[in-house]
Amino acid sequence: MPYFVYRIAPQRKLTLIETHTRYQEAKALVRRLRQEEASGEDDIRMIFAQHQSEAERLLATPRDDRVIGED
């Protein structure tokens, strides 16, 4: 399964940057793009999925708040 690298703009607008088969290549690209990003408005994310539509669905789905510890 490939690794998809996306730029996520405000209002959850997804833009596919590149697709890699190796984790190390995708991770290096994400790190380089995050360092080059000066404005900080867009988020650079990497996701592991079977195909592009699944990756976009996973990125567009809001995540629940993390629960740390017990109440």
Tokens of 11: 């209002």
pLDDT band at 68 (very low <50, low <70, confident <90, very high): confident
Within a domain: 32: yes
User: Which residues fall within 8 angstroms of residue 16, CB to CB, at 6 or more apart?
Assistant: 4, 5, 6, 52
Within a domain: 69: no
Counted domains in the chain:
1
> What local confidence, expressed as pLDDT, does residue 3 receive?
96
Task: Kindly report the pTM of this predicted structure.
Answer: 0.81
Residues in the chain, overall count: 71
22: which DSSP letter?
A: S
> What local confidence, expressed as pLDDT, does residue 9 receive?
86
Q: Convert the pLDDT of each residue in 25-66 to its tens digit.
A: 999 999 999 888 766 778 899 999 999 999 999 998 877 777
The domain containing residue 32 runs over which residues? Answer: 3-60
Distance between CA atoms of residues 53 and 42, nearest Å: 20
Within a domain: 12: yes
Within a domain: 42: yes
Position 6 pLDDT exceeds 90 = yes
